[in-house]
């Protein structure tokens, strides 16, 4: 039984993660709020993609909040539209227009602060996006961190392998200062699913294609928003082989931590200065510089069970 | 049949690597010069340790050259005496004094330049130390790189895991600018055995101890210079478990490339700016930012065959 | 006629600047709020020093707000207590206790956002401290900047001369990221009084001592909070000679821009990366890299008139 | 009576500085060597421009050496051909071809080391270019610095004002690591004429034009190589007003230190890390971080006497 706030920059994998979290309601999970932030696409598209996903799931009653429009210290970051489509959600066609009147007037950061104050010790914060909103909440409210129950972060590195720059992961690279603030100031239990965690847990192209064949509305939605992927692959851009859905992977681990085969607790920081490494997460693996772990890192996931979980989820009507 | 110049900061593993290289003379390998550089210990100790190793091997006729006394841009780097002993060679007792008159008067950098000019296309350069000497040779002689046959480098990272700082390997961290110059300017084939290559190829403590039981003069020398290791382990410093001898590993791969189970060719650079990552090697694994590989990286070695090679080497009289 | 919000880290010069601003009420100036931030001393002392100053001025009705307790990305910064006294206000003895119940419950950043929204185009923001509060307001409210009338900033450099590090000014050095956000995002007219502006406008020790001889309650307050200065000078710490009161200077220029002999409009940025220069302001003097000035910089002040203004101010009963 | 080695990247102002130094031979000054380095233009053009200048002065017997073809760590630096002409020497027409056989075969760095060893305590090193050669000499020979009599450096900053980047001076910006090595390792007396020193000592356009009217062969040479300047000014590039000839100014100060109105001795370093400030010189003006001055900085020159010196020099037949 979890009370969730989910911070997103809805792209394809955020959308699947949202559905996955929402889909756990029978198990008593409640999504209190979805907070949006600039990331994969601009904030306005993130909001629309989030509303679109909730509409599909018939959960438009979950409040959606508008957060930060840009990183603390913006540098040029290669966008993620090549991956998620120009609209961030596969450039699919939809029958109904977005109802942007559903967006709350309260700022996402204020909603985060208020909700955590209202439910001290109860809220699980799930961050699937650049950490700007979370950094601002931490900066504005000293009690924010200690009132959280736990945090699941999709982001960061464990092997200095970049997906958006030579050595940094997208969510951290877009707002490295925010990531640094979050790693430094969060005092509750923090679990991380990093980029390399996902790389080490890649689904084969064959298994992925089988997922696309499932005939349920949910699988249909997945297929629709994933359509850009085929263009991407045929474009011959240099990509890691196989399929992974980082935000969805993180959501699955959140509800079943046994999906992760190995966790390591350690102290992690973010490089803010490097010419090549800005935004890279650095970890003190042996505890030589700090004996105070601040994160529990999911090192690699059980691919077979991950695949089963995805298949089961998509097969449910 | 190789003509070698070996650049060292003789420590324990450099000493074993030197012996290993010298020991290939029956196969036609010739060591033309050993060039010394500040690193594990100060330059004067490096020179003495090198002479000591040659004396043990009865090869004091190999010319030893004095190179750079400090890195291009010195920052404080944690020394390596905790690892190699205060004298860099296990603080062992020796019966004979060092004969420092054997050190050549020519500067190591000049010797490098001269020898490579004298043997164009023939020399294999083996670097087991901070790359100061090599960077200076590249800087002073534009033909240096193209006249080399090949280079084997022990150093750098493939996973952003540090041994001397959060994310950098010792040889690169001591002189990051030199490492950057070398990766950027070397135009001949370059093979690298990195820190994580060695970590992934660790010998178990049990297997290591069996090596110490071998009864030959060579094994006796190895035992003597490795004596500090036991102190280190019992000091409860936070260390990676198991045994690895990075320079020796690199030397073994040089003479038997099949000891490496996987090579990846890629473009590698060195971070010079980072607060945490200064000296870290960063690799463009997918060739997204550069399609011109400059190094061939040994990813992991065959531990069983590595152990056999070490055992065979130590068992030879 | 100005509506002011003053952002302070009350030390000695903030206190005098506050008095100076409050003292312009006859000319129709209204101080809507004082927002406090960590800086010269910790936030709690800043709040007390601000209350203390208002109490002395019999203006405890001006609302005081609690802002950021720490910079966005905290690095070790040499404190300013050697300059302002351990309590930040000269370690003077006061007859009455601080009434901390006067501190507003609303967060300073929210008050900034709310007040600027309530008075669009009317508010003059005066920043005499690290810019954390202002950066957070800009980050949380996209309309904040365009709704401001003008901003006066005490901070930054024009000649790369540091007072707290080799090349950075205190307010910028304490929170360089905040300063960078502010210079980048403020779109209203911005005037800056920098550290070197103050250095070039230094009052002689003799003239300063005459200020201390004035016999009014105001001068008595000034004398009391300035008492630490004598200890500082006799401590033989290496200091720039003469007297300057940076925040007070900025307040005087705000109300009489003719006190500044030369203004230059240019594009200014903040160095966030440097080893020696982190927090230094850098200016594109000739407009070679940007032809869009974002600040009007007061280059040097009229010392004689500055002194007269101070003397007149202290002499008023 | 001085024995000079002059390190140049001959552009227009290096050429005048060379003539000025050579012109002091009656006073007993001897130019032992001219060492060339990549800078204003590529090394080959630097060599030709140097030979050309010596040929004009009928001093082709002074040995010219080929030094470093590129900086230690090359970053993109805006060239200086807009200033010095495409050939670095005003794109003038010359009657005689360059005789490149006059270039010595010994490398400039070796010549520097050899000559300083041959004349211990006697040599004045004048550096008018990026400091690559000097850094290499210092790195290769520990005795180099202590055997020098004195060094005059044209380069660096005193006010964080850039001419080639936001805050760095050309010679330092082209090879910041070399500049850092030089400031750190030189142990003999060092005088610096910085970019801002020259800015503060600017000659008016009117006075400059009078220099061009002088009718001597020397003035004719000056006019010829300065011809590009008029194009530059009419190109409306954003430039500091007035005329300055940095290398020539440094040469004049070398032979008449009273031309400088104020010297300050302090500890200076070079920023290697900054995003905006890489290559900027930073000075500890009050000796707060170091009480060991490593340079004597010429703060501003006597313009009137500078102009007279130039006029007198150009008027001599
Ligand atoms: Ca996401
Ligand atoms: Ca070594
Ligand atoms: Ca202040
Ligand atoms: Ca020059």
B143 and D CB contact within 8 Å: no
CA atoms of D8 and D128, how far apart (whole Å): 5
* Ligand 3 centroid, distance to A142 Cα (angstroms): 23
pLDDT at D77: 64
Q: pLDDT per residue over C108-148, tens digit each?
A: 999 999 999 999 999 999 999 999 999 999 999 999 999 99
pLDDT (tens digit per residue) in B129-165: 999 999 999 999 999 999 999 999 999 999 999 999 9
Ligand 4 centroid to residue D246 C-alpha, Å = 8
Whether the Cβ atoms of residue D286 and residue D180 lie closer than 8 Å to each other: no
Do D269 and C166 lie within an 8 Å CB cutoff?
yes
Each residue's pLDDT tens digit, C62-105: 999 999 999 999 987 666 888 888 899 988 888 888 899 999 99
Chain A residues lying within 8 Å of C136, measured CB to CB? 136, 139-140
Which of 213-242 (A) contact B at CB < 8 A?
A: 238-240
The pLDDT of residue C78 is 63
Contacts of D181 in chain B (CB under 8 A): 72-73
pLDDT tens digit sequence for A242-281: 999 999 999 999 999 999 999 999 999 999 999 999 999 9
pLDDT in tens, A185-227: 999 999 999 999 999 999 999 999 999 999 999 999 999 999 8
Give the model's pLDDT for residue A228: 81
Q: Which residues in chain C (176-215) have CB-CB distances under 8 A to chain A?
A: 177, 180-181
Q: Is the pLDDT of residue B256 over 90?
A: yes
Q: Kindly state the average pLDDT of the residues D46-66.
A: 97
pLDDT digits (tens, 9 = 90+) for D2-35: 999 999 999 999 999 999 999 998 889 999 999 9
Q: What is the pLDDT of residues B25-77, one digit of tens each?
A: 888 999 999 999 999 999 999 999 999 999 999 999 999 999 999 999 998 76
* A160 closest CB neighbour out of B157, B238, B287: B157
Q: What is the pTM of this model?
A: 0.96
Contact D73 B273 (CB under 8 A): no
Does B276 touch chain D if contact means CB atoms closer than 8 Å? no
Q: What is the mean pLDDT of residues B289-305?
A: 95
For an interface test with B, which of D42, D65, D73, D105 has the most B Cβ atoms less than 10 Å from its Cβ? Answer: D73
Q: Quote the mean pLDDT of chain B.
A: 94
What structural domains and CATH numbers belong to chain A? 3-315 (3.90.245.10)
Query: What does the DSSP assignment read for chain B?
Result: --EEEEEE--SHHHHHHHHHHHTTGGGT-EEEEEEE-SSSS-HHHHHHHHHHHHHHTT-TTS-EEE--SS-SS------SHHHH-TTSSTT---SS---GGGEEEEEHHHHHHHHHHHSTTTEEEEE-S-SHHHHHHHHH-TTHHHHEEEEEEE---SSS--SSSSS--HHHHH-HHHHHHHHHH--S-EEEE-HHHHHTTPBPHHHHHHHHT--SHHHHHHHHHTTHHHHHHHTT----SSB--HHHHHHHHHH-GGGEEEEEEEEEEE--S-TTTTT-EEEETT-SS-S---EEEEEEE-HHHHHHHHHHHHH--
Q: Which two tokens stand for residue A155?
A: 């982001």
Mean pLDDT across the stretch A293-311?
97
Q: Rounded to the nearest 5 degrees, what angle is found at the Cα of C293, between the Cα atoms of C289 and C294?
A: 115
Is the pLDDT at A291 greater than 90? The verdict is no
Instruction: Convert the pLDDT of each residue in C7-17 to its tens digit.
Output: 999 999 999 99
Average confidence (pLDDT) over A104-125? 98
Name the residue among A232, A226, A215, A268 with its Cα closest to residue A248: A226
With beta carbons less than 8 A apart as the criterion, state whether D259 and D157 touch.
no
**Tokens standing for residue D115:** 């000559």
State ipTM. 0.95
Task: Tell me if C108 sits within 8 A of C125, measured CB to CB.
Answer: no
Comparing C219-228, D177-186, D192-201, the range with the smallest average pLDDT is C219-228
Is the model's pLDDT at A77 over the cut of 80? no
CA of B246 to the centre of ligand 2 (A): 8
Contacts of A109 in chain C (CB under 8 A): 140
Q: Which of A140, A144, A178, A185 is best to mutate for the C interface (most C CBs within 10 A)? A: A140
Q: Among residues D268, D277, D310, D301, which one has the least CA distance to residue D197? A: D301
Contact yes or no for B289 and A238 at CB 8 A: no
* pLDDT band, very low/low/confident/very high, at C290 (cuts 50, 70, 90): confident
What was the pLDDT predicted at A78?
A: 63
């Amino acid at each position: 039984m979890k009370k969730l706030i989910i911070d997103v920059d809805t792209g394809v994998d955020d959308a699947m993660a949202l559905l996955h979290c929402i889909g756990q309601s029978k198990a008593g999970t409640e999504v209190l709020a979805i907070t949006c932030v600039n990331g994969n696409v601009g904030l306005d598209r993130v909001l629309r993609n989030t509303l679109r996903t909730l509409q599909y799931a018939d959960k438009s009653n979950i409040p959606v909040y508008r957060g930060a429009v840009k990183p603390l210290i913006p540098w040029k970051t290669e966008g993620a539209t090549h991956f998620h489509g120009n609209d961030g959600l596969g450039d699919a066609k939809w029958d109904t227009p977005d109802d942007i009147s559903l967006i709350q007037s309260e700022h996402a950061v204020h909603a985060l602060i208020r909700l955590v104050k209202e439910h001290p010790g109860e809220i699980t914060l799930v961050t699937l996006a650049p950490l700007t909103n979370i950094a601002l909440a931490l900066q504005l409210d000293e009690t924010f961190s200690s009132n959280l129950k736990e945090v699941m972060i999709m982001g960061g590195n464990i092997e200095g392998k970049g997906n958006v720059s030579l050595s940094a992961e997208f969510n951290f690279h877009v707002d490295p200062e925010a990531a640094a603030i979050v790693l430094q100031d969060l005092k509750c239990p923090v679990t991380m699913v990093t980029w390399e965690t996902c790389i080490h847990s890649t689904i084969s192209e064959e298994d992925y294609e089988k997922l696309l064949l499932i005939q349920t509305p949910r699988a249909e939605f997945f297929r629709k928003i994933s359509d850009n992927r085929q263009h991407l692959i045929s474009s011959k851009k240099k990509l890691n082989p196989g399929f992974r859905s980082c935000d969805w992977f993180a959501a699955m681990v959140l509800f079943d931590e046994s999906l992760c085969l190995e966790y390591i607790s350690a102290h992690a920081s973010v490089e803010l200065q490097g010419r090549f490494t800005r935004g890279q997460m650095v970890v003190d693996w042996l505890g030589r510089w700090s004996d105070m772990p601040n994160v529990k890192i999911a090192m690699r996931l059980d691919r077979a069970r991950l695949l089963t979980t995805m298949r089961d989820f998509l097969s449910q009507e």
